[in-house]
Protein backbone atom coordinates (compact mmCIF):
# COMPACT_ATOMS: atom_id res chain seq x y z
CA UNK A 1 0.00 0.00 0.00
CA UNK A 2 1.35 3.41 -0.94
CA UNK A 3 2.19 5.93 1.72
CA UNK A 4 1.82 9.72 1.74
CA UNK A 5 4.83 11.44 3.31
CA UNK A 6 4.01 14.67 5.18
CA UNK A 7 5.77 17.80 3.95
CA UNK A 8 7.92 19.74 6.40
CA UNK A 9 6.29 23.16 6.22
CA UNK A 10 9.22 24.83 7.98
CA UNK A 11 11.58 24.00 5.11
CA UNK A 12 9.17 23.76 2.13
CA UNK A 13 9.92 26.57 -0.35
CA UNK A 14 6.35 26.41 -1.61
CA UNK A 15 4.59 26.78 1.74
CA UNK A 16 3.43 30.38 1.17
CA UNK A 17 2.27 29.73 -2.39
CA UNK A 18 0.47 26.59 -1.26
CA UNK A 19 -1.35 28.40 1.55
CA UNK A 20 -2.33 31.30 -0.69
CA UNK A 21 -3.84 29.22 -3.50
CA UNK A 22 -5.46 26.71 -1.18
CA UNK A 23 -7.05 29.16 1.27
CA UNK A 24 -6.75 32.86 0.40
CA UNK A 25 -7.37 32.60 -3.34
CA UNK A 26 -8.19 29.00 -4.24
CA UNK A 27 -8.03 28.35 -7.97
CA UNK A 28 -7.24 25.84 -10.66
CA UNK A 29 -6.02 26.49 -14.19
CA UNK A 30 -5.87 24.56 -17.43
CA UNK A 31 -3.19 24.47 -20.09
CA UNK A 32 -4.01 23.01 -23.51
CA UNK A 33 -1.23 22.20 -25.97
CA UNK A 34 -0.71 20.20 -29.15
CA UNK A 35 1.99 17.58 -28.69
CA UNK A 36 3.81 16.23 -31.73
CA UNK A 37 3.25 12.46 -31.59
CA UNK A 38 4.36 11.56 -35.12
CA UNK A 39 7.13 9.26 -33.93
CA UNK A 40 5.00 7.88 -31.10
CA UNK A 41 2.19 6.90 -33.48
CA UNK A 42 4.62 5.01 -35.70
CA UNK A 43 6.30 3.32 -32.74
CA UNK A 44 3.10 2.21 -31.03
CA UNK A 45 1.70 0.81 -34.27
CA UNK A 46 4.92 -1.12 -34.86
CA UNK A 47 4.84 -2.45 -31.29
CA UNK A 48 1.34 -3.94 -31.54
CA UNK A 49 0.39 -2.26 -28.27
CA UNK A 50 -2.78 -0.28 -27.60
CA UNK A 51 -2.45 3.44 -28.21
CA UNK A 52 -4.68 4.63 -25.37
CA UNK A 53 -2.95 2.40 -22.84
CA UNK A 54 0.43 3.64 -24.04
CA UNK A 55 -0.73 7.25 -23.68
CA UNK A 56 -1.96 6.54 -20.15
CA UNK A 57 1.34 4.94 -19.15
CA UNK A 58 3.33 7.88 -20.52
CA UNK A 59 1.19 10.34 -18.54
CA UNK A 60 1.55 8.25 -15.37
CA UNK A 61 5.30 8.00 -15.83
CA UNK A 62 5.61 11.79 -15.96
CA UNK A 63 3.23 12.34 -13.04
CA UNK A 64 5.24 9.93 -10.89
CA UNK A 65 8.48 11.80 -11.57
CA UNK A 66 7.36 14.96 -9.80
CA UNK A 67 6.25 15.64 -6.23
CA UNK A 68 3.93 18.47 -7.28
CA UNK A 69 1.74 16.03 -9.21
CA UNK A 70 1.59 13.51 -6.35
CA UNK A 71 0.49 16.08 -3.79
CA UNK A 72 -2.47 15.43 -1.49
CA UNK A 73 -3.97 16.58 1.79
CA UNK A 74 -3.73 14.24 4.75
CA UNK A 75 -6.56 13.69 7.22
CA UNK A 76 -5.57 16.85 9.09
CA UNK A 77 -5.60 18.91 5.88
CA UNK A 78 -1.81 19.23 5.75
CA UNK A 79 0.12 18.69 2.49
CA UNK A 80 1.75 15.33 1.84
CA UNK A 81 3.23 13.51 -1.16
CA UNK A 82 2.21 10.04 -2.27
CA UNK A 83 5.06 7.59 -2.89
CA UNK A 84 3.30 6.57 -6.10
CA UNK A 85 0.05 7.46 -7.86
CA UNK A 86 -1.98 5.41 -10.32
CA UNK A 87 -3.98 6.44 -13.39
CA UNK A 88 -7.78 6.32 -13.28
CA UNK A 89 -9.10 6.51 -16.84
CA UNK A 90 -12.34 6.52 -18.77
CA UNK A 91 -13.46 3.75 -21.13
CA UNK A 92 -16.34 4.52 -23.49
CA UNK A 93 -19.36 2.23 -24.04
CA UNK A 94 -20.73 3.08 -27.52
CA UNK A 95 -23.89 1.02 -27.12
CA UNK A 96 -25.09 3.20 -24.23
CA UNK A 97 -23.03 6.33 -24.95
CA UNK A 98 -21.75 6.23 -21.38
CA UNK A 99 -18.37 5.40 -19.88
CA UNK A 100 -16.78 3.62 -16.97
CA UNK A 101 -13.89 4.87 -14.89
CA UNK A 102 -11.23 2.20 -14.36
CA UNK A 103 -7.87 2.30 -12.65
CA UNK A 104 -4.68 0.27 -12.94
CA UNK A 105 -1.66 0.29 -10.63
CA UNK A 106 1.21 2.13 -12.24
CA UNK A 107 4.20 -0.06 -13.11
CA UNK A 108 7.44 1.51 -14.37
CA UNK A 109 7.67 -1.47 -16.71
CA UNK A 110 5.47 -0.45 -19.64
CA UNK A 111 4.89 -4.00 -20.88
CA UNK A 112 3.67 -5.13 -17.45
CA UNK A 113 1.40 -2.11 -17.12
CA UNK A 114 0.05 -2.57 -20.65
CA UNK A 115 -0.90 -6.18 -20.03
CA UNK A 116 -2.56 -5.35 -16.71
CA UNK A 117 -4.52 -2.48 -18.28
CA UNK A 118 -5.68 -4.63 -21.21
CA UNK A 119 -6.92 -7.29 -18.78
CA UNK A 120 -8.72 -4.70 -16.66
CA UNK A 121 -10.43 -3.13 -19.66
CA UNK A 122 -11.51 -6.55 -20.98
CA UNK A 123 -12.82 -7.59 -17.56
CA UNK A 124 -15.08 -4.57 -17.28
CA UNK A 125 -15.91 -3.95 -20.93
CA UNK A 126 -19.53 -5.05 -20.49
CA UNK A 127 -20.13 -3.19 -17.25
CA UNK A 128 -22.50 -0.26 -17.18
CA UNK A 129 -21.26 0.88 -13.80
CA UNK A 130 -19.49 4.19 -13.41
CA UNK A 131 -16.91 2.63 -11.04
CA UNK A 132 -17.04 -1.13 -11.75
CA UNK A 133 -13.99 -1.72 -9.54
CA UNK A 134 -15.42 0.37 -6.72
CA UNK A 135 -14.18 3.82 -5.79
CA UNK A 136 -10.61 4.39 -7.01
CA UNK A 137 -7.90 4.64 -4.36
CA UNK A 138 -7.08 8.11 -3.03
CA UNK A 139 -3.70 8.04 -4.76
CA UNK A 140 -5.02 8.21 -8.31
CA UNK A 141 -5.09 10.95 -10.92
CA UNK A 142 -7.63 11.24 -13.74
CA UNK A 143 -7.18 10.69 -17.47
CA UNK A 144 -9.93 10.93 -20.06
CA UNK A 145 -10.04 10.85 -23.84
CA UNK A 146 -12.26 12.71 -26.29
CA UNK A 147 -11.15 10.93 -29.48
CA UNK A 148 -14.10 12.17 -31.54
CA UNK A 149 -12.85 15.74 -31.86
CA UNK A 150 -9.76 17.84 -31.61
CA UNK A 151 -9.72 20.92 -29.39
CA UNK A 152 -7.55 23.90 -28.58
CA UNK A 153 -8.97 24.49 -25.12
CA UNK A 154 -10.56 22.31 -22.46
CA UNK A 155 -11.50 23.25 -18.90
CA UNK A 156 -13.34 21.38 -16.16
CA UNK A 157 -15.44 23.33 -13.67
CA UNK A 158 -15.41 21.34 -10.45
CA UNK A 159 -17.74 22.49 -7.71
CA UNK A 160 -16.16 22.24 -4.26
CA UNK A 161 -12.99 20.88 -5.84
CA UNK A 162 -10.54 23.06 -3.95
CA UNK A 163 -9.10 20.10 -2.05
CA UNK A 164 -8.47 18.12 -5.26
CA UNK A 165 -4.73 18.53 -5.81
CA UNK A 166 -4.15 15.74 -8.33
CA UNK A 167 -3.73 16.71 -12.00
CA UNK A 168 -6.47 15.96 -14.52
CA UNK A 169 -5.48 15.18 -18.12
CA UNK A 170 -7.79 15.13 -21.15
CA UNK A 171 -6.68 13.89 -24.56
CA UNK A 172 -8.27 14.80 -27.89
CA UNK A 173 -8.34 13.50 -31.44
CA UNK A 174 -5.17 13.50 -33.51
CA UNK A 175 -4.67 16.36 -35.96
CA UNK A 176 -2.50 16.06 -39.06
CA UNK A 177 -0.73 19.24 -40.09
CA UNK A 178 2.26 19.79 -42.37
CA UNK A 179 3.04 16.09 -42.38
CA UNK A 180 3.06 15.82 -38.58
CA UNK A 181 0.58 14.18 -36.19
CA UNK A 182 -0.46 16.32 -33.21
CA UNK A 183 -2.28 15.27 -30.05
CA UNK A 184 -4.34 17.82 -28.07
CA UNK A 185 -3.46 17.51 -24.38
CA UNK A 186 -5.29 19.49 -21.70
CA UNK A 187 -3.67 19.58 -18.28
CA UNK A 188 -5.76 20.88 -15.38
CA UNK A 189 -3.86 21.71 -12.21
CA UNK A 190 -4.60 23.11 -8.78
CA UNK A 191 -2.52 26.28 -8.40
CA UNK A 192 -1.68 25.30 -4.81
CA UNK A 193 0.15 22.26 -6.18
CA UNK A 194 1.87 23.62 -9.27
CA UNK A 195 2.56 26.81 -11.20
CA UNK A 196 3.03 27.49 -14.90
CA UNK A 197 6.65 26.40 -14.67
CA UNK A 198 5.66 22.97 -13.42
CA UNK A 199 2.89 22.60 -16.01
CA UNK A 200 5.29 23.55 -18.80
CA UNK A 201 7.86 21.06 -17.53
CA UNK A 202 5.16 18.36 -17.51
CA UNK A 203 4.35 19.10 -21.16
CA UNK A 204 8.00 19.17 -22.22
CA UNK A 205 8.79 15.91 -20.45
CA UNK A 206 5.72 14.29 -22.02
CA UNK A 207 6.85 15.48 -25.46
CA UNK A 208 10.29 13.98 -24.91
CA UNK A 209 8.94 10.66 -23.64
CA UNK A 210 6.51 10.25 -26.54
CA UNK A 211 9.19 11.21 -29.06
CA UNK A 212 11.61 8.64 -27.62
CA UNK A 213 9.48 5.53 -28.07
CA UNK A 214 12.22 3.13 -26.93
CA UNK A 215 9.96 2.00 -24.08
CA UNK A 216 7.53 0.70 -26.72
CA UNK A 217 10.11 -1.58 -28.28
CA UNK A 218 9.44 -4.66 -26.13
CA UNK A 219 7.97 -7.60 -28.05
CA UNK A 220 4.28 -7.36 -28.81
CA UNK A 221 1.86 -9.87 -27.25
CA UNK A 222 1.55 -13.17 -29.05
CA UNK A 223 -1.43 -13.40 -31.38
CA UNK A 224 -4.39 -15.31 -29.99
In terms of Cα–Cα distance, which of 56, 75, 76 is closest to 64? 56
Confirm if 213 and 43 have CB atoms less than 8 A apart.
Answer: yes
Neighbours of 87 (CB within 10 A): 26
**How distant is the alpha carbon of residue 18 from its chain centre?**
22
Q: In what order do the strands lie in the sheet with 79-82?
A: 4-6, 79-82, 71-73
Question: What is the full per-residue pLDDT of the chain (224 aa) written as tens digits?
Answer: 579 999 999 999 999 999 999 999 999 999 999 999 999 999 999 999 999 999 999 999 999 999 999 999 999 999 999 999 999 999 999 999 999 999 999 999 999 999 999 999 999 999 999 999 999 999 999 999 999 999 999 999 888 788 899 999 999 999 999 999 999 999 999 999 999 999 999 999 999 999 999 999 865 443 33
Active site residue 191: yes
Task: Kindly name the residue from 3, 93, 191, 198 that is annotated as catalytic.
Answer: 191
pTM value > 0.85 = yes
As a dihedral over the C-alpha atoms of residue 34, residue 144, residue 47, residue 181, rounded to 10 degrees, the angle is -20
Q: How far apart are CA 153 and CA 165, in angstroms?
A: 21
- The residues, any chain, with a CB within 8 Å of residue 51's CB and separated by 6 or more, are 41, 44
CA distance 69 to 55: 17
Amino acid sequence: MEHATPIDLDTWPRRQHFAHYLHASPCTYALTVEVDVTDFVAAVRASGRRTYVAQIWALAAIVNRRDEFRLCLDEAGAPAVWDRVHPAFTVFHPETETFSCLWVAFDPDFAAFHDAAVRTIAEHSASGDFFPQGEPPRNTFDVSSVPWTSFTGFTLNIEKGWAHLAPIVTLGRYVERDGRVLLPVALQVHHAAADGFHAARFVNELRDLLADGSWLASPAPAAR
